[in-house]
Amino acid sequence: LDTLLNHPDIKHRRIPILFFANKMDLRDALTSVKVSQLLCLENIKDKPWHICASDAIKGEGLQEGVYWLQDQIQAVKT
């Protein structure tokens, strides 16, 4: 994650970042809050970010993430 955030094409841009905490269908899956804490996402201060709990097989959580990303992109355009 640090490598991505420090990449020259990304570092100084306010690009929204969407994270999916996938595999939420598994009994021992971590919550999106726990994944966020483990990745220290709260330290990302210069870019909007969002984390969604998801189950890609069932499609759960994907729409929420896509809507958030659409809103972020639309906000940049206005």
Q: Which residues are annotated as a binding site for GTP?
A: 22-25
DSSP state of 32: H
Query: For residue 11, which amino acid is it?
Result: K
Cα 51 to the center of its chain, rounded Å = 4
> Measured between alpha carbons, how far is 25 from 18 in angstroms, rounded to an integer?
20
In the annotated binding site, the residues are 22-25
